[in-house]
Amino acid sequence: MAATDYKDYYAVLGVNKSVDADEIKKAFRKLARKYHPDMNPGDRQAEAQFKQVSEAYEVLSDPDKRRKYDQFGQYWKQPDQPRSPYGGSNTDFDGVEFGRYGSFDEFINELLGRMGSDPGFNSSNRYRTSPGTTGAPPTGNTAGLDSEAILTLTLAEVFNGVQKRLSLGKEVIDVRIPASAKPKSRVRVRGKGNYSPHYTTQRGDLYLTIDIAPHPFFQFDGDNLVCEVPITPDEAVLGAAIEVPTPDGLVTMNIPAGIRSGQSLRLRGKGWSKSKGGRGDQMVRVVITPPKELSEIEREYYEKIRDHRTSNPRSHLKDIRL
């Protein structure tokens, strides 16, 4: 660094040389918030000031860099030290997409984690640089730049497949979710993850974890779907043919005579799509549901059934003892 390029990093942060690391971090937070581009849209002077305080923090927050800076001043950088291809400090914010951060504190926290950390990492904290390299990342290496998000969909959207428009900060992308994705499955969107703070051509992937909103009728059980269908006492006694909803629409299901409440019947091939092809089954749990209100004729016939009933489902309980 030439003498004319020397910057008093302590003066940039507004602190004296005796302050500790916590005071340096506190000063940086205050100034970074003040000059952050999102706080000063279109203000080139504020943007330049933001870069300066970030550069100052990168040096003074790293014990080894700070020691060299205090000892050698403008000559603190050794000739054989890896340099950023952008020149000057390894911190360059020209390629940062600030809009991808949910809040200013989220950006600052990530920045604090990147800068002044393990000397084996460059300022992006995304990939290690080996001794003697130029500081540029290996071609195509986006390890650590991947991001994750949860995408909540309705059961119908997941069953049929859907295209969703997502907002990634200021960027809007269209994502196609394949039909019959399962809960907690992941969809990879290439090249839509985090940017490298230095190398704008470097970007990770976005991984979407599918979350399916609760459905009032269907529930998952592996590749099968589970549902509950009420039937009347006479349908349970005599048997019946009833209509049952499936993902494909209503189908007719036969209720065998004498079915018990809580027993499950199987609709083959009406469940969820399997990863190797085909579909699971839909398990229908029947619940015998007596009417809450009876007409006069219904009550009359139920009383006749009671008076003429020949079976006693509790007869075996007479011999039960402790």
User: What are the pLDDT digits (tens) for 134-187?
Assistant: 333 344 555 578 889 999 999 999 988 999 998 887 889 999 998 888 888 899
Residue 246 has a pLDDT of: 96
pLDDT band of 196, cuts 50, 70, 90: confident
Where in the chain are the domains?
3-114, 147-212, 219-311
DSSP-derived pairing of the beta strands 240-246 and 249-255: antiparallel
**Does 34 have pLDDT greater than 60?**
yes
Residue 136 has a pLDDT of: 36
pLDDT top residue among 103 and 219: 219
CATH topology of domain 3-114: Helix Hairpins (1.10.287)
pLDDT band of 133, cuts 50, 70, 90: very low
Cα–Cα distance, 31 to 40 (Å, whole number):
13
**Does 131 have pLDDT greater than 50?**
no
pLDDT top residue among 250 and 90: 250
Residue 70 has a pLDDT of: 84
Residue 143 has a pLDDT of: 56
pLDDT tens digits, residue range 220-232? 888 899 999 999 9
Per mean pLDDT, which of 78-82, 121-125, 143-147, 271-275 is the most reliable?
A: 271-275
pLDDT band of 93, cuts 50, 70, 90: very low
**Does 130 have pLDDT greater than 60?**
no
Helix axes 21-35, 44-60, angle to 10 degrees: 170
Six-digit token string for 305: 């059934």
> 147-212 with 219-311: one CATH topology?
yes
Cα–Cα distance, 54 to 78 (Å, whole number):
21
Residue 203 has a pLDDT of: 84
Q: Which helix (H) or strand (E) holds 253?
A: strand 249-255
Six-digit token string for 37: 């581009």
Residue 241: what residue type? A
Cα–Cα distance, 184 to 186 (Å, whole number):
6
Residue 41 has a pLDDT of: 76
Residue 106 has a pLDDT of: 52
Strands (E), the chain: 147-153, 162-168, 171-177, 186-189, 206-212, 219-221, 224-231, 240-246, 249-255, 264-267, 282-288
**Does 62 have pLDDT greater than 90?**
no
Do residues 95 and 56 lie in contact, with contact meaning Cβ atoms separated by under 8 Å?
no
Cα–Cα distance, 167 to 160 (Å, whole number):
22
What mean pLDDT is predicted for residues 258-267?
Answer: 96
Residue 108 has a pLDDT of: 56
Do residues 197 and 95 lie in contact, with contact meaning Cβ atoms separated by under 8 Å?
yes
Cα–Cα distance, 177 to 186 (Å, whole number):
10
Return the SS3 of 279.
strand
Mean pLDDT over all residues of the chain?
Answer: 79
Cα–Cα distance, 322 to 320 (Å, whole number):
7
Do residues 147 and 193 lie in contact, with contact meaning Cβ atoms separated by under 8 Å?
yes
**Does 122 have pLDDT greater than 90?**
no
Residue 309 has a pLDDT of: 92
DSSP string across 184-202:
T-EEEETT-SPBPSS-TT-
Residue 181 has a pLDDT of: 85
DSSP string across 156-172:
HHHHH-EEEEEEETTEE
pLDDT top residue among 63 and 136: 63
pTM: 0.52
CATH of 219-311, one of 3.30.160.150, 2.60.260.20, 3.40.50.300, 3.40.50.10800: 2.60.260.20
Residue range 147-212, CATH number: 2.60.260.20
Angle at 65 between CA 48 and CA 57, to 5 degrees: 35
Q: How many residues does the chain have?
A: 322
- Of 93-97, 181-185, 279-283, the poorest mean pLDDT is in 93-97
